């Protein structure tokens, strides 16, 4: 079963086409990675899922339910959380207040009783935050801000977590820590979709990989033994994208 | 060019009829009241035309325009009554006073935009109003200023409304003529360019400060003229003639008529006087009606009445605006510019130990490289590598923290954008930075500014030198449109074009500036594959035909390796590799930067 | 005389502080400078005359009614004028023009309903001057100050101590991030307009017994309120409030010691100076001014 599906989605920023006829599936309970150079449409993919980017054509489905026409604040209530690019934490708020904001979806659905356990989970995953609860978020380092952003997203107890380049600007140690957290959450059943630019980082995480370029999906690899050479060569333009192969594979996926 | 013959006939026919009507008008109508109305219409038209100049053309919103109207009126009145200065000299003094105040208000407001500019101009309007009410010695305070005389022209005193009408008619015609000529020259186009995109205008060598100030000063002078004319017409002025409400009504009428259109301003001026007259039931409600109308126009018909005319009857609109008549082509001269020999230089572009720090962030660190004349160089690197910062420094958007940029043996780091543009470096932007409300043709034509700048006097008086410049500029524009394959869309408004075409227009516009060096910031971003192929071909043609050196940034390694001879790779602000496409593809350093260390 | 001026300064300052705060919360939330804000003050004053003096309703009832009415008008304005423009691109010039147009619309409508003349509301505690520290003050001055402090506190409490208030602030900080927290950003903006309208109306109602109220006081008050907010820092609620009191004192002292005819021009000139020299405000660190 697929947690999130995009079906032939096209989307524009003004006159610029950000997504061209994109079909994408994020299987339930798995980690899906989306790779690609800047401007490839990776962020746009996540924004289309969360309603920050309006669709011109196509559908977005969450567990077979169409969410493409809804407003962002309504989509979130379905159990989707996004950690945006550059974290976008509420800088003047304290760490605790940021996490509180993250729990709003639970408040709106009368699930306040779940909040304490979520907070406990977040502080367990990111113990460094525990000591900084009363401090304004802008005083945190980049790495801690990223942890806060992820923690904030987790406060709503989502079933799908989307992350937009979480490793951007972070030290390798911190990146490894965050990825370890991702692994742990996924083991607990959380579906994760992660957008990254730096390929090497995500290699041992993913079981489902997409490579995008110019708003299109150009490569889709699935399973434990990913053909990374293929991805590398496409990325560096050493090899022309064999689109028919990618599309054939996609078709194969859809039949499943 | 359409059908110029037919256009011109109808156009001149319309003009002759209009002129005849205007001149015979007072003699035909027996009721002097209508002549009075016509006089008020004339004065209002001057007001709306002047506001349209500063707001419609130059994009500077002015919510206190009645302030200049007041200054013109009071300075004139004092000059002619209190100081006994002859009538027309008094008018001149009033105009000078307005110009000075326009400059004084224009200068500090240059940095302000949008809401802040609106507030500042509103405050200005109110300050003038309060001063007019309080400064009894100069303005007569709330009681007003009495006893303003009518002029004597050629021995004949313009004592009646009828006779004064001709003075107003003359003034309106002069003002319209001046503004019309300004608009249809490089001066007017530069103002519009500044309105639509200051950054793009700067990149083409247009000095935004100069043109904004020019617009302000012209607008204040014309409003002051209206003030002087009104003072003599009514023979009495009081602060109630110069309220904030009036400023608002002038603004409303300009927008109603069609912001950015001279004819729209004329319409607006007419409506301003005639609407309350024709519907007496408006009476107490007139402000409410104006406000409501204005809100509806802003939401549903933002280009006002002229916008609707354009939509519903495009041919009529074209009749009213004749095509530009360009003089004979001066072929020899244009060839000279195109084939100017390259003077011997040691290196074309050199970047030396360039660093840029933003507070604690290092955007660029110790970057050095040189670019050979006539080459196509690519700059690539992961997100946040500093590529656009590099471009910004080269084109003068901000200076480097350390190091320098040398262009053809000329150090250019630290110079302002429009000055660097004049040296021959033109750039395009990551997000399309066209002038959206202008046609493709006009956008490209504005690109020629740096070679064919015209002065104000030249523009107003339509001197022969202007025609010559326009012809040359036009010629280059035609050539560029041809090379880039844009002829089929030349008359379309840029905001209506598909994205791929917009990108090409931007490149075309940069080309029209006849640069020696063109910097393209992500020219292929967002293009479909066939559009990318088209762009590649165009760039190669540019290089081959004109010997223009190209530097481009792009994220698609594909695109860059296809077209560039030399590639520079940045990562986290540092230059990590440079070389031929093959070298870069094989380089493990580059691989690591993009893909991370593979386990 | 000095003590008299201090109390007057506090009184006028209170009014400007409330108006300025309204500007600030609207601007930080919606990035719009509402030129019609001053008209809400005017409505508060004139409605105050109608409800309190003419209909003789109790003070608190009149205030409640005014708050509800003006909040409704502000919300209608947001729905009917601002929202259509925002959804069509929200270009700054269009927003300026439409808020200006709305201001004149409301002002003209008020002129039709209440006429052109000055109106005075009856003061709730009578006009008997109270002697205090060697000067005579009318009770209304203290009432204005008290009402202001009350509403400033209530606003502060709402924004700092309630979840809803914090979600409003989140919208002001980062709209997209706020929507990802399932906050309905459009509704927040609408309610913010309503809240700022309420603050404006309350200040109008509070001072209606002290100064003349007529259909035309909206714009000058609005500009002064904006000047105050700008002086203190438009993006800072605390700064705006401080700016309000500062402007009040400045105006009163200039009027007392120099001349009273030019006092309006003084505020506007101060505004122009701040705009030219330090547009970010005196209490806020410099940032670029662009929309």
**Is the pLDDT assigned to residue B340 strictly greater than 80?**
no
Interface size B-C, in CB pairs within 8 Å, comes to 128
Q: Which residue of B has its CA nearest to C85?
A: B299
Structure tokens that stand for B353 in this block: 């130990």
pLDDT at position C236 is 86
Return the minimum-mean-pLDDT range out of B256-265, B381-390, B573-582: B381-390
pLDDT at position B1 is 40
Between B599 and B237, the higher pLDDT residue: B237
pLDDT at position B392 is 92
pLDDT at position B514 is 85
pTM equals 0.85
Chains in contact with A, where contact means 3 or more Cβ–Cβ distances below 8 Å, are B, C
Indicate yes or no: CB of B245 within 8 angstroms of CB of C104.
Answer: yes
Interface list for B 517-556 with A (CB within 8 A): 522, 525-529, 555-556
**Is the pLDDT assigned to residue B389 strictly greater than 70?**
yes
Q: Are strands B236-237 and B145-146 parallel, antiparallel or unpaired?
A: antiparallel
Give the SS3 label for residue C29.
helix
pLDDT in tens, B469-483: 888 888 889 988 888
Q: Are strands A80-83 and A65-66 parallel, antiparallel or unpaired?
A: unpaired
**Is the pLDDT assigned to residue C38 strictly greater than 90?**
yes
Shortest distance, CA B505 to any CA of chain A (angstroms): 14
pLDDT at position B229 is 95
Q: Is C288 inside a domain boundary?
A: no
pLDDT at position B344 is 55
**Is the pLDDT assigned to residue B326 strictly greater than 60?**
no
Q: Which residue of A has its CA nearest to B503?
A: A16
pLDDT at position C45 is 93
pLDDT at position B545 is 81
Q: Is C228 inside a domain boundary?
A: no
pLDDT at position A226 is 61
**Is the pLDDT assigned to residue B6 strictly greater than 60?**
no
ipTM of the complex: 0.88
Q: How far is CA A93 from CA A122, A135, A141, B436, C171, in A?
A: 18, 8, 15, 40, 12
Q: How many domains does chain C have?
A: 1
C49 CA to centre of own chain: 18
In DSSP terms, C135 is beta-bridged to C132
Which phi and psi angles does B157 have, rounded to 5°? Answer: -80, 130
Euclidean distance between CA atoms C71 and C57, whole angstroms = 19
**Is the pLDDT assigned to residue C57 strictly greater than 90?**
no
Secondary structure of B239-293 as H, E, C letters:
HHHHCHHHHHHHHHHHHHHCCCCHHHHHHHHHHHHHHHHHCCCCHHHHHHHHHHH
pLDDT in tens, B134-147: 888 888 888 888 88
Residue bearing tokens 């109790």: C58
**Is the pLDDT assigned to residue B412 strictly greater than 60?**
yes
Q: Is C113 inside a domain boundary?
A: yes
Q: Is C121 inside a domain boundary?
A: yes
pLDDT at position C280 is 66
**Of B54, B262, B170, B178, which is closest to residue B456 (Cα–Cα)?**
B178
Return the minimum-mean-pLDDT range out of A5-14, B125-134, B523-532, C5-14: B523-532
pLDDT in tens, C75-97: 999 999 999 999 888 888 999 99
pLDDT at position A41 is 87
Residues of chain C whose beta carbon is less than 8 angstroms from a beta carbon of chain B are 32-33, 35, 81, 84-85, 88, 92-98, 100-102, 104-105, 107-109, 111-112, 219-220, 223, 226-227, 230, 261-262, 264-265, 268-269, 271-272, 275-276, 279, 289-291
Compute the average pLDDT of residues C276-288: 60
**Is the pLDDT assigned to residue B149 strictly greater than 50?**
yes
**Is the pLDDT assigned to residue B3 strictly greater than 70?**
no
CB A214 within 8 A of CB A41: yes
Q: Is C234 inside a domain boundary?
A: no
CB within 8 Å of A38: residues ≥ 6 apart: A197, B382, B383, B555
Domain of C16, in residue numbers? 2-216
**C185 has a chain A CB within 8 A of its CB:** yes
Structure tokens that stand for B30 in this block: 């027996």
pLDDT at position B462 is 82
Question: Percentage helix, strand, coil, to 5, in chain B?
Answer: 60, 10, 25
**A20 has a chain B CB within 8 A of its CB:** yes
Averaged pLDDT score across all residues of chain B: 85
Q: Which residue of A has its CA nearest to C187?
A: A73
Confidence label for B282 from pLDDT (cuts 50, 70 and 90):
low
Question: Percentage helix, strand, coil, to 5, in chain A?
Answer: 40, 25, 30
pLDDT in tens, A167-205: 887 888 888 888 999 999 999 999 999 998 777 767 678
Compute the average pLDDT of residues C196-220: 89
pLDDT at position C220 is 87
Compute the average pLDDT of residues B260-276: 90
Return the minimum-mean-pLDDT range out of A84-98, B498-512, C38-52: B498-512
In DSSP terms, A31 is beta-bridged to A192
**A226 has a chain B CB within 8 A of its CB:** no
Indicate yes or no: CB of C275 within 8 angstroms of CB of B120.
Answer: yes
Q: Is C266 inside a domain boundary?
A: no
Q: Is C225 inside a domain boundary?
A: no
- Which residues from chain B sit within 8 angstroms of residue A44, using beta carbons? none
Q: Smallest Cβ distance to C81: which of B251, B284, B295?
A: B295
Chains in contact with B, where contact means 3 or more Cβ–Cβ distances below 8 Å, are A, C
Euclidean distance between CA atoms A134 and A97, whole angstroms = 8
Between C118 and C265, the higher pLDDT residue: C118
Q: Which residue of A has its CA nearest to C181?
A: A102
Q: Smallest Cβ distance to C268: which of B111, B126, B251?
A: B126
pLDDT at position A252 is 46
**Is the pLDDT assigned to residue C70 strictly greater than 50?**
yes
Neighbours of B188 (CB within 10 A): 21
pLDDT in tens, B545-568: 888 899 999 877 778 888 999 999
pLDDT at position B599 is 37
**Is the pLDDT assigned to residue B328 strictly greater than 80?**
no
Shortest distance, CA B514 to any CA of chain A (angstroms): 28
pLDDT at position B232 is 93
pLDDT at position B7 is 66
Averaged pLDDT score across all residues of chain C: 87
Shortest distance, CA C266 to any CA of chain B (angstroms): 8
Euclidean distance between CA atoms A135 and A44, whole angstroms = 33
Interface list for B 414-473 with A (CB within 8 A): 432
Q: Is C46 inside a domain boundary?
A: yes
**Is the pLDDT assigned to residue B219 strictly greater than 90?**
yes
């Amino acid at each position: 079963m697929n947690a999130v599906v995009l079906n032939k989605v096209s989307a524009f920023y003004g006159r610029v086409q950000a997504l061209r006829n994109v079909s994408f599936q994020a299987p339930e309970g798995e980690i899906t990675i989306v790779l690609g150079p800047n401007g490839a449409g990776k962020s746009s993919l996540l924004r289309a899922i969360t309603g920050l980017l309006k669709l011109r054509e196509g559908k977005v489905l969450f567990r077979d339910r169409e969410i493409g026409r809804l407003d962002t604040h309504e989509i979130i209530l379905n159990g989707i959380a996004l950690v945006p690019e550059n974290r976008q934490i509420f800088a003047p708020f304290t760490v605790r207040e940021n996490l509180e904001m993250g729990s709003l979806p639970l408040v709106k659905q009368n699930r306040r009783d779940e909040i304490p356990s979520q907070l406990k989970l977040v502080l367990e995953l990111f113990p460094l935050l525990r000591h900084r609860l009363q401090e304004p978020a802008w005083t945190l380092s980049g790495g801690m801000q990223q942890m806060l952003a992820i923690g904030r997203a987790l406060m709503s107890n989502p079933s799908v977590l989307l992350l937009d380049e979480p490793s951007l600007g972070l030290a390798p140690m911190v990146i490894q820590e965050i990825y370890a957290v991702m692994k742990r959450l996924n083991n607990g059943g959380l579906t994760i979709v992660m957008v990254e630019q730096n390929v090497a980082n995500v290699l041992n995480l993913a079981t489902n990989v997409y490579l995008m370029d110019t708003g299109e999906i150009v490569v889709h690899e699935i399973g434990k033994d990913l053909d990374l050479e293929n991805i590398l060569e496409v990325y560096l333009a050493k090899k022309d994208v064999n689109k028919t192969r990618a599309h054939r594979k996609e078709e194969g996926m859809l039949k499943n | 060019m359409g059908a110029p013959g037919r256009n011109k006939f109808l156009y001149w026919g319309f003009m002759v009829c209009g002129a005849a009507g205007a001149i015979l008008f007072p003699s035909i109508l027996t009721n002097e009241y209508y002549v009075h109305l016509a006089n008020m219409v004339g004065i209002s038209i001057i007001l709306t035309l002047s506001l349209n100049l500063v707001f419609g053309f130059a994009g500077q919103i002015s919510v206190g325009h009645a302030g200049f109207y007041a200054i013109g009126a009071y300075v004139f009145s004092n000059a002619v009554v209190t100081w006994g200065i002859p009538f027309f000299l008094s008018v001149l003094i009033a105009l000078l006073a307005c110009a000075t105040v326009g400059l004084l208000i224009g200068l500090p407001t240059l940095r302000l935009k949008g809401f802040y500019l609106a507030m500042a101009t509103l405050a200005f309007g109110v300050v003038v109003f309060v001063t007019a009410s309080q400064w009894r010695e100069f303005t007569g305070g709330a009681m007003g200023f009495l006893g303003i005389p009518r002029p004597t022209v050629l021995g004949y005193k313009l004592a009646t409304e009828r006779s004064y009408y001709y003075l107003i008619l003359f003034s309106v015609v002069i003002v319209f003529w001046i503004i019309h000529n300004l608009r249809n020259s490089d001066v007017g186009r530069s103002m519009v360019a500044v309105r639509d995109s200051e950054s793009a205008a700067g990149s083409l060598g247009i000095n935004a400060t100069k043109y904004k100030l020019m617009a302000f000063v012209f607008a204040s002078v014309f409003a002051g003229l209206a003030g002087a004319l009104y003072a003599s017409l009514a023979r009495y002025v009081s602060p109630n003639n110069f309220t904030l409400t009036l400023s608002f009504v002038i603004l409303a009428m300009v927008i109603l008529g069609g912001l950015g259109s001279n004819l729209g301003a004329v319409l607006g001026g007419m409506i301003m006087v005639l609407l309350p007259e024709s519907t007496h039931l408006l009476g107490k409600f007139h402000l409410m009606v104006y406000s409501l109308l204005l809100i509806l126009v802003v939401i549903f018909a933002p280009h006002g009445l002229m916008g609707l005319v354009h939509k519903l009857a495009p041919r009529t609109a074209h009749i009213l605006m004749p095509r530009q008549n360009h003089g004979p082509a001066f072929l020899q001269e244009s060839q000279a510019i195109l084939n100017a020999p390259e003077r011997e230089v040691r290196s074309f572009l050199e970047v030396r130990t360039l660093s840029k720090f933003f507070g604690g962030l290092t955007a660029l660190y110790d970057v050095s490289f040189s670019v050979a004349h006539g080459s196509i160089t690519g700059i690539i690197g992961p997100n946040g590598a500093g590529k656009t910062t590099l471009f910004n420094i080269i084109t003068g958007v901000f200076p480097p923290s350390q190091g320098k940029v040398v262009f053809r043996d000329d150090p250019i780091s630290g110079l302002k954008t429009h000055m660097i543009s004049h040296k021959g470096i033109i750039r395009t932007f990551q997000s399309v930075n066209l002038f959206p409300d202008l046609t493709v043709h006009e956008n490209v034509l504005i690109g020629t500014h740096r070679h064919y700048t015209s002065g104000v006097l030249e523009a107003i008086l339509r001197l022969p030198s202007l025609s010559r410049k326009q012809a040359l500029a036009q010629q280059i524009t035609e050539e560029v449109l041809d090379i880039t394959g844009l002829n089929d869309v030349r008359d379309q408004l840029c905001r209506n074009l598909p994205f791929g075409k917009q990108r090409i227009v931007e490149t075309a516009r940069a080309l029209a500036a006849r640069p020696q060096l063109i910097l393209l910031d992500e020219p292929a971003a967002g293009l479909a594959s066939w559009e990318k192929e088209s762009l590649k071909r165009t760039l190669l043609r540019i290089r081959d035909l004109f010997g223009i050196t190209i530097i481009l940034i792009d994220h698609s390694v594909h695109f860059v390796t296809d077209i560039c001879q030399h590639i520079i790779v940045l990562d986290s602000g540092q230059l990590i590799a440079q070389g031929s496409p093959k070298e870069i593809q094989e380089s493990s350093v580059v691989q690591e930067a993009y893909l991370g260390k593979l386990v | 005389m000095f003590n008299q001026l201090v109390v007057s300064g506090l009184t006028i300052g209170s009014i400007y502080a409330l108006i300025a705060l309204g500007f600030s919360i609207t601007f930080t939330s919606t990035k719009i400078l509402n030129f019609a804000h001053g008209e809400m003050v005017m409505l508060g004053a004139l409605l105050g005359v109608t409800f309190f003096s003419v209909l003789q309703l109790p003070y608190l009832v009149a205030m409640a009614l005014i708050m509800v009415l003006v909040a409704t008008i502000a919300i209608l304005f947001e729905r009917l004028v601002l929202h259509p423009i925002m959804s069509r691109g929200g270009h700054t010039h269009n927003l300026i023009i439409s808020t200006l147009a709305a201001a004149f619309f409301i002002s003209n409508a008020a002129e039709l309903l209440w006429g052109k003349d000055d109106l005075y509301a009856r003061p709730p505690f009578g006009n008997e001057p109270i002697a205090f520290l060697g000067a005579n003050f009318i009770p209304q001055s203290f009432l204005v100050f008290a009402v202001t402090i009350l509403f400033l506190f209530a606003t502060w409490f709402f924004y700092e101590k309630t979840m809803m208030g914090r979600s409003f602030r989140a919208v002001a900080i980062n709209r997209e991030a706020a929507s990802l927290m399932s906050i309905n950003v459009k509704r927040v903006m609408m309610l913010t307009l309503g809240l700022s309208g309420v603050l404006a109306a309350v200040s109008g109602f509070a001072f209606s017994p002290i100064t003349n109220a007529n259909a035309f006081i909206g714009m000058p008050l609005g500009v002064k309120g904006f000047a105050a907010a700008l002086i203190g820092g438009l993006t800072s609620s605390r700064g705006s409030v401080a700016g309000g009191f500062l402007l009040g004192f400045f105006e009163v002292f200039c009027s007392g010691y120099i001349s009273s005819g030019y006092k309006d021009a003084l505020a506007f000139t101060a505004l122009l100076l701040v705009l030219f020299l330090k547009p970010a405000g005196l209490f806020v660190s410099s940032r670029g001014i662009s929309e």
